[in-house]
Homo-oligomer: A and B are copies of this chain.
Amino acid sequence: MIEVTISDSQHRILPLVPMLYVAWADNVLSPSEISVIKEKVSEISFLNEEDIALLYSWIDPKNPPSEELIQKWIKWIRTAAEKQELGSPDLLMDLSNKMAAAGGDSASWDSDEARTALNEIRNAIGIATLKDHRSILTEELREAEAKQFSKPGFAAAEMQILLEGEYSDLIQRVKRLLADPVFRLRHHENKDAYRSIVMEWCKLLAEQGYGAVAYPTEYGGSDDVAQYMNIFETLGFHDLSLVIKFGVQFGLFGGSVYWLGTKKHHDRYQTDIGSLKLAGCFAMTETGHGSNVRDLETTASYDIDSGEFVIHTPHYGAGKEYIGNALHGRMATVFAQLETRGEGHGVHAFLVPLRDDAGNELPGITVKDCGYKLGLNGVDNGRIWFDQVRVPRENLLDRFGSVDEQGNYSSPIESRSRRFFTMLGTLVGGRVGVPRAGLSAAKKGLTIAIKHALKRRQFGPEKQPETLLLDYPMHQRRLIPLLARVYGMHFGLQYLTRRFANRSDEDIREIEMLAAGLKSWSTWQTTAILQECREACGGKGYLWENCFADLKADTDIFTTFEGDNSILMQLVSKGLLTEYKREFNDMNPVKLVKYLVGEVSFAVEERLGARSTNEEHLRDDEYHLDTLRHRERHLLKSLAKRLRAYIKSGMDAYDAAIRCQTHLLALGRAYSERVVLEQFVLALKACEDPGLQRVLDMLCDLFALHLIEEHKAWYLEHEYMSAKKSRAIRKTIDRLCLKLRPEVSALVDAFGIPDHLLFAEIAVGEQS
């Protein structure tokens, strides 16, 4: 509640303020309006001369109320309005009554004489219906309030430090490196030339030591995977082909050797991988088996006589597909079905040399270029087939499964399924990195679109300068909630990185789930955000020079590589189900009853909250968190019920899950959104600078409400939210967009994208 100091006269005429505010809303008080007010006020006997004089000073057309006075009125009205629902059918009179009560003079104002006067004034102020009063009292008010914040309330540089956190120095170093002319961004016509340039860029980064940062110091690194992720993300401001090439070499290839191999492999290869002396591939995906890795068909049969593995592609469709570095790589980590002594042991990884030092393919290796792609044409993706290729036994990356000379298989992990998932662990790093690259692309796209909207004028009232795009409410509605979303993605993905960097055997399952969920959710956001930004820049957004061509094309694959989002989201939900079952099974009867009672009372509380529409409530983080948690929990419980019913009815678990696919997807998404909001709220709470906190608070509210609005059909359908509340949320979002309008320029500056990386002609340069 805002504290308001107020004089006696002001107190007494307070109930007239809402009407005066509405009357002045058009900046004009007509003579007839003035005369009615004067006449009616004179009939109110308890107002003294001083009161009348004050009132007259407020209705003088030669001296319209000052901005300061209007702001005062707004505060008074807000104070009263906050005590009640703005949805009242007779809003203006109700407000008057409230203000009379606030002024301590409700008894006097409750007289017939006063009531009649108020009624007639209300009818005279030129606006026909109560609804119209309402729109002025809500929409006008918010605009007037927004004027208070014409300058950003915080320094972009400070926000940037908050966003970059402890890796800020590293990030600046990478950006400075990318300012070198050799990294100049340009259009590439020919893929082969482009690929060579990207390879050169990768080597330059390796020379700086950036390729190896995640590896132990003995192999030239810093043993710091978070550093790696920050470099990866920063490169995302530059060229996404470079990002992916970098990730394939140091993350996937290097990561697989490090994670799946043992000391002999590390000693022999890790340093050369980090320095890019040894370029390599991560050859997992096959044409016939994209997401379904478990069923891939390449074989690795152990030949006891020679002590070698024979790597073989059984048919054309079992060739490795989309393999990055396939044209430049000299070696590949190949995933194949291990067979020894006539028995299969499932998918394992093998180091297979592809080319000699001169770059010629070795015998039995066939590599075919994947050709031009929708984007990422600086990455040499190819297909690889193996025709009875022999590699020594040591080339099995044998951390989780080994074969001795006699061909006996052994593994530290007994469960075949757990072993499989442990070996897939290399992919988790990719799933942490990819959405961060996508985040950079989204930040860059939004920066361009917002800076353009702050320079570009189009249409306008007659004989006046044209209007700035970002001053159109529609344009604000298009871009500002996306800005809030990008901030959410940022905090969510930072959390994921922290968890990944500090993972242990205990929480690896949870982190895999987290990575699968946030990777999918974030990359879908990136695609949607870039599309909106491109359209918001119109034809300019279509020119290559303004970056959207590459940003959109290069990130488009993010939603389906490193795990197809639709598949990953189902994995997330299956993980949640497993947790849920455990939680449920662990309960003793007393706990169970408590649990069920808890659920019921939670439901009642929700129901009570369904109609609350006051701003304080709508902007309460707890309300946001509850709302997102409720959806996740509800989706989880109803999913568990559905599955149980199917299975009890005799369906096998596979079929049951297939039937629930869309349900699984919705749950995975609800989970991801809840996690991201939690992280946003935590980041907000951890922020100690009041300027930053104020704007983060608005962004966080906007982020949450915009998500709730996106799912409002669900909330309405499940009676978690009334129609009235849904409308109040929409208005609060509009209001937040307007309030954030003066802050957006600094908010995108805080992404810290220097001009040489921002690049786009429409974004770099002066703003209005």
- CA A388 – CA B505 in complex, angstroms? 76
Is A127 within 8 A of B655, CB to CB? no
Q: Residues of B contacting A129 with CB < 8 Å?
A: 641, 645
In chain A, positions 455-477 with a C-beta closer than 8 Å to chain B are 458-462, 466-467, 472-474, 477
Q: Does A164 contact B (CB under 8 A)?
A: no
Which residue on B lies nearest to A374, using beta carbons? B549
Q: Type the 1/0 row for A183-195, where 1 means its CB is closer than 8 Å to any CB of B.
A: 0000101110000
Distance to closest chain B CB from A547 (angstroms): 10
Q: Does A413 contact B (CB under 8 A)?
A: no
From 608 to 656 in chain A, residues with beta carbon under 8 angstroms from any chain B beta carbon are 641-642, 644-646, 648-652, 654-655
Q: Can you tell how many copies of this chain the complex includes? A: 2
Stretch among A251-259, A269-277, A307-315, A710-718 lining the B interface: A710-718
- Nearest CB in chain B: distance from A535 CB, A: 6
Q: State the CA gap A662–B321 with chains docked (Å).
A: 45
Q: Would you call A461 and B374 a contact (CB within 8 A)? A: no
A506 at the interface (CB under 8 A from B): no
Partner of A477, one of B289, B375, B461, B662: B662
Considering the complex, give the chain B residue whose CB is closest to the CB of A527.
B531
B interface footprint on A15-47 (CB within 8 Å = 1, 0 otherwise): 000000010011110000000000000000000
Inter-chain contact B285/A539, CB cutoff 8 Å: yes
Segment at the B interface, from A511-519, A553-561, A740-748: A553-561
A322 at the interface (CB under 8 A from B): yes
Task: Bits for A539-570, please: 1 = Cβ < 8 Å to B, else 0.
Answer: 10111110011001100110111001110000
When chains A and B are docked, how far (Å) is the Cα of A139 from the Cα of B655? 13
Cβ of A587 under 8 Å from chain B: no
Asked if A590 is at the interface (CB within 8 A of a chain B CB), the reply is no
Nearest CB of B to A721, in Å: 9
Using known A-B contacts A458-B289, A473-B659, A474-B662, determine if residue A723 contacts B712 with beta carbons closer than 8 Å: no
Question: Is the C-beta of A665 less than 8 angstroms from some C-beta in chain B?
Answer: yes
Q: What is the CB-to-nearest-CB distance from A318 to chain B, in angstroms, rounded to a whole number?
A: 13
Bound form: Cα–Cα A25–B28 in Å: 74
Q: Is A207 an interface residue (CB 8 A)?
A: no
When C-beta atoms are compared, the residue in chain B nearest to A652 turns out to be: B461
| Contact among B27, B370, B541, B665 for A650, CB-based, below 8 A | B27
The yes or no answer to A661 lying at the interface (CB within 8 A) is yes
In contact, A372 and B648 (Cβ under 8 angstroms): no
Assess whether A131 is interfacial by the CB under 8 Å rule.
Answer: yes
**Complex-state Cα separation, A462 to B462, whole angstroms:** 70
Decide: A661 and B472 in contact? CB cutoff 8 A. Answer: yes
Given contact pairs A127-B648, A187-B371, A539 touches B290 in the complex (Cβ within 8 A): yes
Scan A118-151; emit 1 where CB is below 8 A from any B CB, else 0.
0000000011110110011001000000000000
Q: Is there contact, CB below 8 Å, between A539 and B473?
A: no
Name which residue of chain B comes closest to A25, CB basis.
B649
Chain B residue at minimum C-beta to C-beta distance from A294: B459
Determine if A727 and B723 form an interchain contact, defined as CB atoms under 8 angstroms apart: no
Judge whether B560 and A649 touch: CB under 8 Å.
no
Given A466-B295, A548-B374, A719-B723, do A26 and B649 touch, yes or no (CB 8 Å)?
yes
A264 at interface, CB cutoff 8 A: no
Interface membership of A181, Cβ < 8 A = no
**What chain B residues lie within 8 Å of A535 (beta carbons)?**
559-560, 565-566
Given A132-B645, A461-B652, A654-B462: A542 and B374 interface contact (C-beta under 8 Å): yes
Is the pair A127, B645 in contact by a Cβ cutoff of 8 Å?
Answer: yes
Residues of B within 8 A of A375 (CB): 542, 549
A350-B713 Cα distance, complex, nearest whole Å? 52
A230: Cβ under 8 A from any B Cβ: no
A574 within 8 A of B: no
| Contact of B543 with A560 in the complex, beta carbons under 8 Å | no
Residue A534 lies at the interface, judged by CB distance under 8 Å to chain B: yes
* Extra contacts besides A27-B650, A372-B543 (7): CB < 8 Å: A22-B649, A136-B649, A187-B371, A290-B538, A375-B542, A474-B665, A542-B556
Nearest 10 CB-CB pairs, A to B? A26-B650, A132-B645, A474-B661, A713-B713, A374-B549, A372-B544, A716-B716, A717-B723, A461-B654, A712-B713
Cross-chain pairs A/B with CB under 8 angstroms, 10 sampled: A28-B650, A132-B648, A290-B539, A371-B544, A373-B543, A373-B549, A473-B659, A474-B661, A539-B557, A539-B561
